[in-house]
Amino acid sequence: MTSSSNSSSTSTSSSELSAFSALAPYGWDDAWADEFAPYGTEGLLPGRVIRVDRGQCDVVTADGLVRADTAFVTPHDPLRVVCTGDWVAVEPAGDPRYVRTYLPRRTAFVRSTSSKRSEGQILAANVEYAIVAVSLAVELDLGRIERFLALAWESGAQPLVVLTKADLVPDPVTRAHLVQDVELSAPGVSVLTVSAVDGDGLDTLVALVSGGTSVLLGQSGAGKSTLANALLGEDVMDVQATRDVDGKGRHTTTTRNLLALPGGGVLIDTPGLRGVGLWDAETGVGQVFSEIEELAAQCRFHDCAHSAEPGCAVLAAVDSGQLPVRRLESYRKLLRENQWIVAKTDARARAELRREWKRRGAQGKAAMEAKRGHR
């Protein structure tokens, strides 16, 4: 009895050590091991999803790379499907082989789809850093950067802006001005300039992402695949030339792929995102525009809309030049979009939004009548 118990204990610790050894480069740690423990007693294997494709996924396990079916984890909620970056419990054998479940996610990067059903789409899970790649080959679109950052903050990851193709802006003064423009639109976020051509800035980026999982985001033509290859130290991702006329490119990456970096850390590369719709990202928007949120706390009225109210600290900052008009307009735009998305998917939020519209409409009508009365 004792001998059998000791043998089982030895076998269990041996399998646990094997899992740690094989999965540590992909982010496996004691906390994940504790989460997985109940599934281990059922004979299931831990693994991390490195790619999802049409109901199937590639999972890295202690037994190597396995192909598994996700049919057991296909709920109606699109946010609960298996995605790249998930830690899962997979069957040890079988044809087909199945993923039984995924472990609770620490973070999740979600955007709204372009469908009329206003569904959320999960792009990556369990990510510590969200790298927003922005090409210096074209004019900066600060509004789009703010949109990416709102989703990144909302996911629970730490955003990082990487200005790629820095070799195309050789003048250090011009480059410094571009960095400053982005920094003003990204409070609390590091902004790096990187050139995959000459390696400038790569060492700093490698050091930043070596301690966790990073997801690489950006538009087509932003240089993501080239940057991914530079971080990996080899040409793993396909690269295509961008159009000279607008700096855009085709989707060289068509699926989300998770890859272990040689210097430590994990990278999830994503297809170029043409549409970056918000998905219940009020907290993220607030963090992107933290200076406006701080000013708003000083407004005379707690429900100030920062449009024409007396005692509005936000409008006062715009008048004094402290706050750029563009920032306020971008803030308003993203808040309106987020409210609309939430209202379309949440009946209570939808009712509250209608009440808010009626209240503001009544205030506007009263203001117009008062104005007419003074004539």
Q: What is the pLDDT confidence band of residue 363, given thresholds at 50, 70 and 90?
A: low
Which tens digits make up the pLDDT trace of 187-227? 999 999 999 888 999 999 999 989 899 999 888 777 888 89
pLDDT tops 70 at residue 117 = no
Instruction: Give the span between the Cα atoms of 107 and 151, in whole angstroms.
Output: 12
The pLDDT, as a whole number, for residue 15 is 63
Which tens digits make up the pLDDT trace of 256-280? 799 999 989 999 988 755 556 666 7
Instruction: Give the span between the Cα atoms of 145 and 179, in whole angstroms.
Output: 12
Which tens digits make up the pLDDT trace of 70-114? 988 877 777 889 999 999 999 998 888 999 999 999 998 887 765
258: left (phi over 0), alpha (psi -120 to 50) or beta: beta
The pLDDT, as a whole number, for residue 366 is 62
Pull the structure tokens for residue 303.
């429900």
Q: What is the pLDDT confidence band of residue 11, given thresholds at 50, 70 and 90?
A: very low
Instruction: Give the span between the Cα atoms of 48 and 87, in whole angstroms.
Output: 4
pTM value > 0.75: yes
